[in-house]
Amino acid sequence: MPAPDDEEPTVTPYAVRGDIDYETLLDQFGADRLTDEQIASFPDPVHPLVRRKIFYAERDMSPFLAAANAGEPHSIVTGRGPSGPMHIGHVFPFYFAKHLQDQTNTLVYIPFSDDEKYFLKDSSIAEISDHTRENLRDLLAIGFDPKRTRIIVDTADADVIYPLAAAFAKEITQSTVDATYGEPENIGLSFYPAVQAAHLLLPQLVAGRHPTLVPIAVDQDPHVRVCRDIAAKQRYPVDKPGALLSKFLPSLLGPGKMSSSDNAPSILLTDNRETVFEKIRTHAYSGGQSSIDAHRKFGGNPEIDISYQFLYYFFEESDERMERLAREYRDGSLLSGKLKEIAAEQITDFLDAHQKRRAKLGPVEDELAKYRLTDHERRQARRRAGYPDDSFAQL
């Protein structure tokens, strides 16, 4: 549900409330707008999320683009906090990462922050573990290349994540945590920026220095800023990771972030066709008029229509079709009900394909084994973080 007009806007990794002004966030976070020149530098074909500026801001992205275009080593890190079922707003950064991996053999690292969600949510360890397993099935269904992808689960990969986080924690003061995130609710969240730094620097600690890009929603940018400060101290053999920051997929009920933790309905990756059509028909906020006659006379506004926005963000590849839909909606020849049907059809086609791949997966443990860090990669990461080869982490 859209936030009340008088609610103070808040955008942090742990809370998004109020009316979101994306331009103000750039000034607040100190990020740069994504330029047309940078968009043109992405490998062709440029993903719709980039060319339509859903990914709208960046930090130090040029080294990544240069390496990707030159066929040199480069990596992406984009993770998942398993606090519940995944919805369509969660998945598009991963499909974007898969797109780049297919284009340029990008190395993709996907950390699962199961410990953070336990610190943050009123959920048991067992509940978070269940969400982790189901979320893993959705990520595995995307079809990443196992040779070029590593999936890390914090509690399962503590032998590498904790030593790295312990090293980086010494670089972060409590005052930095408080100023960046607000006062933490518990000491787990105080420590967690060090864990996030371990995630973001892990590709370089495994494979050596190379450009790394973090494509994430804009609320997660504080993690990148803290990590870049650690890398800038040059105490470790890593370069500062770049960032590509996205807008939020809006809620069905109107402008704002789609969230599985509030009362607004979300379209889940496991929803069937009937459920998706019902959610779109019943809940999708319309930019049309109050009657068919008024709509045909005055037209609708695609900029606030959620069905149009879902198509624009992710579910319609063709720019020409999006332009035609916007034109027909504005002139009143395309009705709101028909636009909802188009969006529901596109979303269900996407989900049908995703769910078929998901259903073909074997047991999670067997599927995940292909994406785990190898023993050699674990040793390399610990060694580059300063641990000797005979450290107790090897036992």
3-state DSSP of the chain: CCCCCCCCCEEECCEEECCCCHHHHHHHHCCEECCHHHHHHCCCCCCHHHHCCCEEEEECCHHHHHHHHHCCCCEEECCECCCCCCEHHHHHHHHHHHHHHHHHCCEEEEEECHHHHHHHCCCCHHHHHHHHHHHHHHHHCCCCCHHHEEEEECCCCHHHHHHHHHHHHCCCCHHHHHHHHCCCCCHHHHHHHHHHHHHHHHHHHHHCCCCEEEEEEHHHHHHHHHHHHHHHCCCCCCCCCEEEEECCCEECCEEEECCCCCCCCCCECCCCHHHHHHHHHHHCCCCCCCCHHHHHHHCCCCCCCHHHHHHHHHHCCCHHHHHHHHHHHHHCCCCHHHHHHHHHHHHHHHHHHHHHHHHCCCCHHHHHHCCCCCHHHHHHHHHHCCCCCCCHHHC
- Going along the chain from its start, the domains and CATH numbers come out as 10-247+368-381 (3.40.50.620), 263-359 (1.10.240.10)
- Using a pLDDT cut of 70, give the percent of the chain over it: 94
The reported pLDDT for the residue numbered 90 is 93
Question: For position 392, what pLDDT does the model report?
Answer: 61
Place 256 in a pLDDT band, splitting at 50, 70 and 90: low
pTM of the model: 0.93
Average pLDDT value for residue range 356-368:
97
pLDDT above 60: residue 2: no
pLDDT in tens, 114-133: 999 999 999 999 999 999 99
pLDDT > 90: percent of the chain: 84
| Res. 189: pLDDT tops 60 | yes
Is the pLDDT confidence value at 257 over 80?
no
- Position 393 pLDDT exceeds 70: no
Name the least confident of 18-27, 99-108, 182-191: 18-27
Rg (CA), the chain: 21
Q: How confident is the model at residue 391, as a pLDDT?
A: 65
pLDDT at 140: 97
Q: Residue 3 above 50 pLDDT?
A: no
pLDDT over 90 at 170, yes or no: yes
Summarize pLDDT for 36-70 with one digit per residue, the tens: 999 999 999 999 999 999 999 999 999 999 999 99
pLDDT at 4: 44
